[in-house]
């Protein structure tokens, strides 16, 4: 299965990204790798990105999303990000418009701007529960409409991390957009894990942290809290047999007089260690965080999306990404001579004709570049969703470059590499396109983002030509 390429905005220390990729172990459970590849990630916090870059093969850049040159972004199929939400306002217009109170509110629109321009196949946005009630409930519908107006079918749901094997009661709004309605119909939000797979605070508390005096509150702080605890509901010591309350980014400065969760050892109160906070957030112990100060660790971890929650969110994408392949034997039986035999009687481009855009391996690309190739074999896993009897043109896609040259499909049939490579198995059937060079369609390679690459829906020559305008 070909990997879905992902661009990650506001990536922080990488909670969403780790859950998306999978391939990690947490509290004795293996979270298998997913068919995703991070090709771009960005955050404006240099300390968070230090943590990110110590844990991921793909390196995050430190920058403001408003400085992104959208046309310079690599190819990607999915955009993800937890956009800042503190600054939305409703403008006094008729009809009302979504606005912003300060610069942070503008960042949501940057995400929408990228979606409008690049039109990836999917997006996933994450935010706090309060987004649903912001501006007396007026902001959220407008946010959803902004995503829809960018060209997406949008669904959303409030998920509690504790329902998915995370030892924390952390509620987050998950918004998912699908460019294609077929994809939307195949997706479902994850179901809750079994009660036996739920995790509680006691699963992640460290005995080593119990010996760290720096984590304990002074006797004076405890006495002050006890004096007002009954009427102020302070000193919220957590129960080891339940998931922890939501942790925040300011655990380094947690106070007994706040609503932040704390832990009680005997009759003494302490804050959680940075590693415990990471475990509460479902980061595996192998996730490195000690390259920045403890205060910076708390901030990065507290702002993150729990990786295990994200893993469950993307797991149903497996149903979408499964692509049935062509049954070559069946096609050969139905079309013993050829699938299509096109007659190109004039030099005028047939702009409404279908084009197959396909990757070509490096060992064959040079033959296509110099126009000397006249036959193209598909791979063994050619998708069954391509309308073979509609194909008319072929354009090779060069990895990292895009498309440039246009070929005419004279004949499409079932054959094998044995025809020109005697060492190949004659029974290893493939689709064979007998092709003829037409012209160099673009002056230089054109990086394109077409559904055909991953959903394998056919496109037309007009769609490709319009990209150059």
User: What DSSP assignment string belongs to 229-254?
Assistant: HHHHT---BPPTTSPEEPP-TTGGG-
Average pLDDT of span 241-267 = 86
Regarding whether 19 and 162 lie in a shared domain, the answer is: yes
Q: What's the domain count of the chain?
A: 3
Mean pLDDT computed over 256-276: 89
pLDDT for position 464: 81
Higher pLDDT, 456 or 341: 341
Does 245 fall in a domain?
A: no
User: Is residue 248 included in any domain, yes or no?
Assistant: no
Burial class from Cβ neighbours inside 10 Å (0-12, 13-18, 19+) for residue 41 reads buried
Neighbours of 361 (CB within 10 A): 8
β 263-265/168-169 pair status: unpaired
Task: Please state the rounded mean pLDDT for residues 110-133.
Answer: 92
pLDDT of residue 454: 41
452 pLDDT tier (thresholds 50, 70, 90)? very low
The phi, psi pair for 157, rounded to 5°, reads -160, 145
Give the separation between CA 148 and CA 155, rounded to whole angstroms: 10
Q: Does residue 114 lie within any of the structural domains?
A: yes
CATH number (domain holding residue 445): 3.10.590
Asked if residue 278 is part of any domain, the answer here is: no
Is the per-residue pLDDT at 86 higher than 70? no
Q: Which helix (H) or strand (E) holds 318?
A: helix 317-321
pLDDT at residue 91 in the model: 47
Q: Would 341 be classed as within a structural domain?
A: yes
Q: Span 182-194, mean pLDDT? A: 92
Examine residue 249 and state whether it is found in any structural domain, yes or no: no
Choose between 463 and 302: higher pLDDT: 302
Q: Catalytic residue numbers?
A: 85
| pLDDT range class, residue 133, cuts 50, 70, 90 | confident
Domain that holds residue 425: 328-466
Compute the average pLDDT of residues 55-79.
Answer: 94
Calculate the average pLDDT of the chain. 86
313 Cβ contact list (under 8 Å, min separation 6) = 19, 124, 159, 174, 176, 189, 190
Dist CA 415 CA 429 (whole Å): 6
DSSP letter assigned to residue 203: G
Task: Note whether 145 and 60 are same-domain residues.
Answer: yes
Claim to verify: residue 290 and residue 211 sit in the same structural domain: no
Task: Report yes or no on 250 lying in a domain.
Answer: no
Residues 316, 359: one domain? Answer: no
Query: Residue 453: its pLDDT value, please?
Result: 42
Are residue 115 and residue 229 in the same domain, yes or no?
A: no
What's the confidence (pLDDT) of residue 157? 96
On whether the CB atoms of residues 275 and 298 are closer than 8 A, the answer is no
Q: Given pLDDT bands bounded at 50, 70 and 90, which one contains residue 372?
A: low
Residue 139 or 93, more confident: 139
Q: Answer yes or no: do 362 and 456 share one domain.
A: yes
Domain shared by 39 and 152, yes or no: yes
Q: 139-149 and 106-118 are packed helices; what angle lies between their axes, rounded to 10 degrees?
A: 20
How far apart, in whole angstroms, are the C-alpha atoms of residue 151 and residue 123? 11
Tell whether the model's pLDDT for residue 151 goes beyond 90.
yes
| pLDDT exceeds 70 at position 73 | yes
In-domain check, residue 130: yes
- Give the strand pairing for 354-359 and 405-416: unpaired
Span 455-465, pLDDT tens digits: 345 678 887 88
Q: Which of 19-28, 29-38, 314-323 has the lowest mean pLDDT?
A: 314-323
Q: Is 116 helix (H, G, I), strand (E, B) or coil?
A: helix
Averaged pLDDT, 419-432: 85
Which run of H or of E encompasses 98?
A: strand 97-100
Pick the range with the lowest mean pLDDT from 322-336, 379-393, 417-431, 455-469.
Answer: 455-469
Please check whether residues 267 and 410 belong to one and the same domain. no
What CATH number has the domain bearing residue 135? 3.40.50.150
Name beta bridge partners: 33. Answer: none
Residue 265 reports pLDDT greater than 80: yes
pLDDT for res 381:
74
Same domain membership, residue 295 and residue 170:
yes
Peptide bond into 87 cis (omega under 30): no
Q: What is the structure's pLDDT at 323?
A: 67
Residue 339 has pLDDT above 80, yes or no: yes
Report the pLDDT value the prediction gives residue 308, as an integer from 0 to 100.
98
* Spatial separation of the C-alpha atoms in residues 221 and 217, rounded to whole Å: 6
Question: 314: part of which helix (H) or strand (E)?
Answer: helix 307-314
**In this predicted structure, what is the pLDDT of residue 193?**
94
**Same domain flag for 31 and 11:** yes
Is 338's pLDDT higher than 60?
Answer: yes
Name the residue among 257, 254, 256 with its Cα closest to residue 280.
254
Considering the chain, what percentage of its residues have pLDDT values greater than 90?
Answer: 54
Which backbone phi and psi does 419 adopt, to 5 degrees?
-60, -35
* 361 backbone φψ class: left, alpha, beta (φ>0; ψ -120 to 50): beta
**How much is the average pLDDT of 194-204?**
95
Q: Give the least confident one: 19-23, 237-241, 464-468.
A: 464-468
Domain shared by 103 and 47, yes or no: yes
The answer on pLDDT for 96 being more than 80 is: no
**For residue 373, what are its two tokens?**
């190739």
What pLDDT, on a 0 to 100 scale, did the predictor assign at position 188?
Answer: 93
pLDDT band at 229 (very low <50, low <70, confident <90, very high): low
How far separated are the first and last CA of the chain, in Å rounded?
33
Residues 43 and 180 in one domain: yes
CA distance 357 to 424: 25
Does residue 418 or residue 2 have the better pLDDT? 418
340: Cβ contacts below 8 Å, ≥ 6 apart: 388, 389, 390, 391, 392, 409, 411, 412
């Amino acid at each position: 299965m070909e990997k879905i390429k992902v661009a990650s905005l506001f990536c922080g220390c990488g909670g969403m990204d780790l859950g998306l990729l999978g391939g990690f172990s947490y509290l004795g459970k293996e979270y298998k790798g997913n068919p995703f590849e991070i090709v771009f990630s960005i955050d404006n916090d240099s300390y968070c990105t230090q943590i990110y870059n110590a844990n991921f093969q793909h390196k995050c850049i430190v920058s403001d999303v408003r400085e992104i040159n959208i046309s310079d972004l690599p190819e990607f199929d999915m955009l993800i990000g937890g956009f800042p939400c503190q600054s939305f306002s409703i403008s006094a217009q008729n009809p009302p418009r979504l606005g912003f109170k300060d610069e942070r509110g503008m960042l949501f629109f940057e995400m929408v701007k990228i979606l409008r321009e690049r039109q990836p196949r999917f997006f996933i946005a994450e935010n706090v529960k309060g987004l649903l009630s912001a501006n007396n409930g007026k902001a959220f519908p407008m946010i959803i409409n902004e995503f829809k107006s960018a060209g997406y079918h949008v669904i959303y749901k409030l998920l509690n991390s504790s329902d998915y094997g995370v030892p924390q009661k952390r509620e987050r709004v998950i918004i998912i957009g699908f460019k294609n309605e077929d994809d939307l119909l195949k997706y479902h939000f994850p179901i809750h894990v079994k009660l036996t797979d739920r995790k509680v605070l006691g699963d992640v508390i460290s005995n080593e942290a119990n010996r760290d005096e720096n984590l304990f509150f002074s006797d004076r702080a405890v006495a002050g809290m006890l004096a007002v605890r009954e009427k102020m509901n302070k000193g919220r010591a957590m129960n080891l047999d339940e998931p922890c309350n939501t942790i925040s980014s300011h655990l380094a400065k947690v106070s007994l007089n706040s609503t932040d969760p704390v832990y009680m050892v005997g009759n003494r109160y302490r804050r959680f260690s940075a590693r415990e906070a990471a475990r509460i957030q479902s980061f595996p112990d192998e996730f490195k965080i000690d390259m920045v100060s403890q205060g910076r660790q708390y901030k990065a971890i507290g702002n993150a999306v729990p990786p295990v929650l994200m893993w469950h969110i993307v797991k149903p994408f497996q149903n979408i990404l499964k692509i049935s392949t062509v049954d070559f034997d069946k096609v050969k039986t139905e079309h013993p001579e050829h699938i299509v035999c096109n007659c190109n009687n004039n030099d005028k481009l047939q702009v409404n004709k279908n084009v197959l855009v396909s990757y070509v391996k490096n060992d064959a690309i040079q033959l296509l570049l110099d126009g000397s190739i006249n036959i193209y074999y598909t791979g063994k896993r050619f998708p069954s969703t391509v309308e073979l009897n509609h194909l008319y043109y072929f354009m090779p896609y060069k990895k990292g470059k895009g498309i440039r040259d246009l070929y005419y499909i004279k004949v499409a049939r079932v054959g094998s590499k044995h025809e020109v490579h005697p060492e190949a198995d004659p029974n290893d059937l493939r689709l064979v396109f007998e092709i003829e060079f037409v012209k160099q369609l673009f002056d230089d390679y054109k990086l394109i983002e077409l559904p055909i690459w991953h959903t394998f829906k056919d496109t037309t020559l007009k769609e490709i030509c319009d990209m150059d305008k």
